[in-house]
Amino acid sequence: MTDTPTADRPAPDPLLAGLRDLAEPAPTTLTDRVVDGWVRAPSPLGEVYAVAGAGGVRLLRTAAHAGDLEVFLEEYRTRHGRPVRPATRPPRGLLPALRGTGGPPELDLTDVGDFARQVLAATARIPAGQVRPYGWVAREAGHPKAVRAVGTALARNPVPLLIPCHRVVRGDGGLGQYLSGAGDKATLLAGEGLDLDRVADLAAAGTRLIGSDTTGVVCFPSCHHARRITDAHRRGFASLDRARAAGYRPCRDCRP
């Protein structure tokens, strides 16, 4: 289709035909990359709303905390500047992850800053049923002095439950705060098999680390190695320095 048929050219112009052939259709993934999808899903904290794009889950909130779905979605659109529609199915891996029977689904953390991303990556390595102090996350994230900033970054975790910020607790052994309330944090940890009474007893006694006098290794109390130590051989310490002074070395798994 030329603008003005200037010449008698009955044969199709190969140049124009060739140019038209350069207009390949968009990859079928384009729509999914632009329009995100939301779903409701069950979780240990009741129903959650999740928003996912082509790169993975971008936001998750408990319904109880987020309130009205429309308000939640409108806030998502405003904050991220992205359209969001009902998804036809939940993102792959989301439901098992929320049931605790699988690792996290793909996550899209592109809107998170570098520091917060490192904090979230360190947090994601804490096993279920175990807890680590904020200072541990700061050190693992490569910023040992940024303990407060870790708290702030975790308070803004876009994907709680999937990145288990509930497993990060205060340095003094207290459970500390949680996005949707300290009660939810206790519920989640108890659900993962953490003995909250024991955590409270250790905190009250000032015991931060547990060592075995047979192996000479010292761990966080919830580390699976620490939990295997029998009563007769268990030694409590108030700090890593004290444990070191007594000849103990830090566990290579929980890295106190």
Active site residue 165: yes
Q: List the beta strands (DSSP E) in 105-253.
A: 132-133, 168-169, 209-212, 217-219, 234-237, 249-250
Told to check if 25 binds other proteins by CB under 8 A, we report yes
Minimum CB–partner distance for residue 120 and other proteins (Å): 17
Minimum CB–partner distance for residue 42 and other proteins (Å): 25
From the list 165, 219, 223, 254, the catalytic residue is 165
Minimum CB–partner distance for residue 111 and other proteins (Å): 12
Per CB under 8 A, the segment of 19-27, 92-100, 116-124, 142-150 that binds other proteins is 19-27
Q: Where are the alpha helices (DSSP H) in 4-125?
A: 14-21, 30-34, 63-66, 69-80, 94-99, 114-124
Which CB atom, from 78 or from 101, has the smaller least distance to other proteins?
Answer: 78
- Among the listed residues 7, 11, 15, 232, the single contact to other proteins using CB under 8 A: 15
Which CB atom, from 57 or from 175, has the smaller least distance to other proteins?
Answer: 57
Told to check if 233 binds other proteins by CB under 8 A, we report no
Tell me the C-alpha distance between 182 and 165, whole Å.
Answer: 12
Which CB atom, from 11 or from 23, has the smaller least distance to other proteins?
Answer: 23
Minimum CB–partner distance for residue 3 and other proteins (Å): 6
Q: Report yes or no: 84 and 50 within 8 Å, Cβ to Cβ.
A: no
Backbone angles phi, psi at 71, to 5 degrees: -65, -45
* CA neighbor of 128 nearest in space, from 184, 193, 80, 83: 193
Contacts of 180 (CB under 8 A, 6+ apart): 45, 61, 62, 64, 65, 160
Residues annotated as catalytic are 165
